Every structure is written in structure tokens, then in C-alpha cells.
Amino acid sequence: MGLRVAVIGSGPSGMYAADALVSQDDVEVSVDVIDKIPVPFGLVRYGVAPDHFSIRSVRDTLDKIWDKPGVRFIGNVEVGKDISVAELHEYFDAVIFTYGAARDRRLGLDGEDLAGSVAATDLVAWYCGHPDADRATFEDVVPSATSAVVIGVGNVAVDVTRVLAKTVDELNSTDMPQYVFDTLGRSHITDVHVLGRRGPAQATFTTKELRELGELAEADILIDAKDLELDPVSAALVASDKVAARNLEVMREWSTRAPGGKPRRIHLHFFARPVELIGDDRVRQVTVERTELDANGQANGTGQTYAVDADLVVRSVGYRGEALEQVPFDSSRNVITNDEGRVMRDGVAVPGEYTAGWIKRGPSGIIGTNKKCAVQTVTCLLADAQAGTLPAAPHPSSGEFDARLSNVRVVDTAGWRKIDAAERALGATAGRDRTTIVQVDQLLSAADA
């Protein structure tokens, strides 16, 4: 009998790990990919902006992995609640943790917890239709806001800015849930301010995503040409980094544009560090300190401050992973403690436990980065299997594992296919390729259809 492996999390890293396991011929392997929600694909489904069709199409590639012999989807099962890590070892020879890093990083500012101050991770989950999204908050704060501040200059910050500044017509072909269209249609936001604590050369967005901000139907983009003047550190970076150079070229062109009188405006602020959020029953203003770069490229405050009106503040300063009970966790880096994918406890590898993706290395890289990361982990697992260092599992059949979960409404691969078909059918009623089904009960009903 071959190896039985449980992969915890069905995002890209989990799917790539499953694919690597069943695509090799040295060791016979069967894989159960377990996810706490009824649908697969993690941040590809719930983190990539709905209007980025080419990136979201990665789902179609990942979906084909379910057709490979030996791979099963086990959805709507939460490890740590429905089954423990210790119990998984009773049914599987090895466990790979690939559950990602879906929580937001905090700023640590006064006023950060005011109403109207939200995490980009939560806003993205809302407009992508995650079952756990806080609909009430966003369906209240988005229509009642007129000025928004987005803190951060990465691709997620750009995505959030673009969604807030686009018209519903520009988003109409996406798979957003209908309630998102309804809410955005009631938006009165006229200004979106994007704050970067360092200069344009240090921003981490990619040029394609950046350029899209200047192509919106009803939003002008405004940037102070003085912010584009390069200090020696920034000049050296632009000279050596093609992406930074292209980004700067795009922004310099924007700085020469005369405002077109469009109803919305996107303001890009660099050398701008938020120091306090001010408000009453909700956030009303952000105090911003001007910064300057030192010789190491670090941003230091100048003591000069100014205020930006904002009744919606979106904090987009990164994702972080969370600990899973019984699994060693490095709280300083918010990752599972590991060495090249082998889970480590007190400097010693935990037999049969591995990790891949963001929860292994932190939230870095693009979707494709997770493939190389997963392959590294799988290589270690297979080497351990061939060396005989995996723990001796009781090795019950998949049917016995299914019986252990008999008290849970499991969504299997066939159930996911039915959900997929239901979403496509729902989208067709509105002339779209797909409309995301949100509520868990509706997802489960679709899986039973």
C-alpha cells in the first residue's frame, strides 16, 4: 500500500503539493486535500482581484489536478475543530500544512480600531465573496464614505484602490456577488488617497497593476512631481531594478497630466507615514507625517505633518499567518517553524509533518512561487519516505477516514464540481461567466444538488 498524505489547505501551495506528490513515479501516493470551507483554491478565489481575469484563470489550471488519480478534495472540514492534528496522524503517513497567511498585519496606531478603519484582507474577502466576510460592516461603511485612505503601496493596495474607484459597469463582467455590485453602486466615494511611507522607487506594486489605475473611466490620478525626484538611494535602485524604473516612468507621465474633471480622484502620496487616525463615532481623518530616506533606504519621520480627510481607512500593510494547535509556530515571523518544509520542534524535525506556501515562508512572491516552494517540500517528504523516517501510521483505508468524518457535512470533489456548475449557471443569468455563491448553506445545497 502506498503513502497516504493529508494536505491542509487547498490554495495554490496545497494544490501544487498534491500535484507534485501524485505526478512522480518513485513512490505511490494518495492525497486528501482538506479545507475548512466548502470550496477550494484559497487566495486564488478569495484574494486575487475579481477584475484580474488572467490571474484568476489559474483556478482552471488548479482545477484539473482533481482529475488526477489519487487526489481528493475534502471540503468543509476544519482541522483543529472537526479533527485534530494528532488524529490526522492516525490516518495518514504525512501531513503538509499549506493553510496560508490570511490575517492582516496591524499598524499599532492610535485610532486604528475606530469604525471605518478596516483591514485590506477583510475588504478583499468581502468583495471576493468569502463565506466568513463581514458583510454588515462593508455594506454600511462603503456607501456612507466620501473619502478613503489606503495605507500601503503593494499590489493588494492597488487592487483595493482600483475597486473603490471603478464604476459598477467596469466591474460588471466579474464574478463578484450581487450584493457587492449593489453596495458599490451606492458608493459616494470621490477621493482615494494612497499612502506610501517611502518613495516611488521602493513601492512593491508591479507595473501592470499600477498602470491600470491610470486607465479608469471615471477617476483622475494625481501625484506631486516633487515626490518623484530621486535621492541617491532611490536613483541607485531605479538604475538596477527594471520594475522600479518602469513604475517611475508611468508615474512621471501621470504627473504631467492635467486633471480631466472626472468625478473620482486617486491621490498617490509618497514619503507619507500615517501616525494617527482621528474620529468620533468613526474615523474622520488621518494624520500623516512626511518622511525622508536615510542612506540605508529606511524612512525616518521629519516632524512635518498634514491631515487627510477620510471616513474609510483601509490598512494594506501585509498578511500574516496564524498558529495551528499542536503545530510548532514561529511567532516572530508568523510562520510554522520549519527547515526547507520539514516542521521543526526544538531544532528536530517532527516526523511526518511538513509545510509549504505562505505559512512556510511568509507572504512573499507570486502565485507561481508557491509551486517551487511546494516541490521543495514534497522532495523532502519523499526522501524521508524512502529513508524510512516517516512515523509508522496505523494506515486505515480512506473509507475509515471518511467514517471518522461522518458527523461533518463533507464536500468532496464531486460536490465541488456541482458548486462550480451552479456558480457558472448563476453567472449566466446575469451575462457573466460566473457569480460567486457566498453563504455556506447555499454552497452545501449546491453540492447536494
Mean pLDDT of 101-107: 81
Whole-angstrom distance, CA of residue 108 vs CA of residue 332: 16
Mean pLDDT of 421-428: 96
Backbone angles phi, psi at 116, to 5 degrees: 90, -10
Res. 1: pLDDT tops 70: no
The pLDDT value given to residue 396: 63
Whole-angstrom distance, CA of residue 86 vs CA of residue 71: 22
Q: Pick the closest to residue 60 from 69, 48, 76 (CA basis).
A: 48
Whole-angstrom distance, CA of residue 36 vs CA of residue 131: 11
The pLDDT value given to residue 321: 87
Mean pLDDT of 369-393: 92
Question: Three-state SS for 442?
Answer: helix
The grid coordinates listed for 322 are 496564524
Find out whether 159 and 174 touch, Cβ atoms under 8 Å: no
Using CA of residue 28, residue 30, residue 33, residue 34, what is the dihedral sign? Answer: negative
Q: Pick the closest to residue 138 from 155, 160, 159, 158 (CA basis).
A: 160
Mean pLDDT of 295-317: 94
Kindly state the DSSP code that residue 368 receives in the 8-state scheme. T
Mean pLDDT of 423-443: 95
**Environment class of 85 (CB within 10 Å of its CB; exposed 0-12, middle 13-18, buried 19+):** middle
Mean pLDDT of 356-376: 91
The residues, ordered by sequence, that sit 6+ positions from 82 with a Cβ below 8 Å of its Cβ are: 405, 408
The pLDDT value given to residue 80: 94
pTM exceeds 0.85, yes or no: yes
The pLDDT > 90 percentage for the chain reads 87
Whole-angstrom distance, CA of residue 277 vs CA of residue 287: 6
The grid coordinates listed for 284 are 474622520
Instruction: Identify the CATH assignment for 3-102+321-411 out of 3.20.20.70, 3.50.50.60, 3.40.190.10, 3.40.50.720.
Output: 3.40.50.720
The residues, ordered by sequence, that sit 6+ positions from 373 with a Cβ below 8 Å of its Cβ are: 13, 16, 341, 356, 357, 360, 361, 365
Domain ranges of the chain: 3-102+321-411, 104-319
User: String of b and e for 280-315 (b: at least 16 CB within 10 Å)?
Assistant: eebbbbbbbbbbebeeebebeeeeeeeebebbbbbb
Range in 81-95, 104-118, 215-229 with the lowest mean pLDDT: 104-118
The grid coordinates listed for 283 are 474615523
Whole-angstrom distance, CA of residue 151 vs CA of residue 132: 23
The pLDDT value given to residue 318: 79
Q: Which residue has the higher pLDDT, 151 or 449?
A: 151
Range in 38-42, 114-118, 175-179, 400-404 with the lowest mean pLDDT: 400-404
Question: Three-state SS for 356?
Answer: coil
Amino acid at 279: G
Q: What is the DSSP string of 67-134?
A: GSTTEEEEES--BTTTB-HHHHHHH-SEEEE-----EEPP---BTTTSTTEEEHHHHHHHHHT-TT--
- The domain over range 104-319 is classified in CATH as 1.20.120.160: no
